[in-house]
Chains A and B, each alone.
Chain A
Amino acid sequence: GEDVEQSLFLSVREGDSSVINCTYTDSSSTYLYWYKQEPGAGLQLLTYIFSNMDMKQDQRLTVLLNKKDKHLSLRIADTQTGDSAIYFCAFSSSGGSYIPTFGRGTSLIVHP
Chain B
Amino acid sequence: DAGVIQSPRHEVTEMGQEVTLRCKPISGHDYLFWYRQTMMRGLELLIYFNNNVPIDDSGMPEDRFSAKMPNASFSTLKIQPSEPRDSAVYFCASSNEVARGYGYTFGSGTRLTVV
- Known contacts being A88-B43, A99-B45, A103-B42, is A33 close to B109, with CB within 8 Å? no
A33, A41, A98: which contacts B108 (Cβ < 8 A)?
A41
Count: A-B pairs, CB below 8 Å: 46
- Known contacts being A42-B4, A42-B91, A102-B42, is A35 close to B107, with CB within 8 Å? no
Which of A9-17, A43-51, A69-77 lies at the interface? A43-51
Q: Do B108 and A42 touch (CB < 8 A)?
A: yes
Q: Does B48 contact A (CB under 8 A)?
A: yes
A35, A48, A102, A103: which contacts B102 (Cβ < 8 A)?
A48
Contact partners of B93 in chain A: CB under 8 A: 42-43
- Known contacts being A102-B43, A104-B42, A105-B42, is A45 close to B4, with CB within 8 Å? no
Interface size on B, residues (CB 8 A): 20
Q: Does B106 contact A (CB under 8 A)?
A: yes
Interface size class of A (residues with CB under 8 A): 20 to 34
Contact partners of A42 in chain B: CB under 8 A: 4, 91, 93, 106-109
Contact partners of A31 in chain B: CB under 8 A: 101-103
Q: Do A30 and B108 touch (CB < 8 A)?
A: no
User: Across the two chains, which residue of chain B brings its CB closest to A50?
Assistant: B101
The 8 A CB mask of A48-81 against B (1 = contact, 0 = none) is: 1000000000000000000000000000000000
Interface residues of B (CB under 8 A from A): 4, 33, 42-43, 45, 48, 55-56, 91, 93, 100-109
Interface residues of A (CB under 8 A from B): 30-31, 33, 35, 40-45, 48, 88, 92, 97-100, 102-105
List 9 extra interface pairs beyond A48-B102, A103-B42, CB under 8 A.
A30-B101, A33-B103, A40-B108, A43-B43, A43-B106, A45-B105, A48-B103, A97-B55, A104-B42
A–B complex contacts, Cβ < 8 Å, 9 sampled? A31-B101, A31-B102, A35-B103, A45-B102, A48-B102, A92-B101, A99-B33, A99-B45, A103-B42
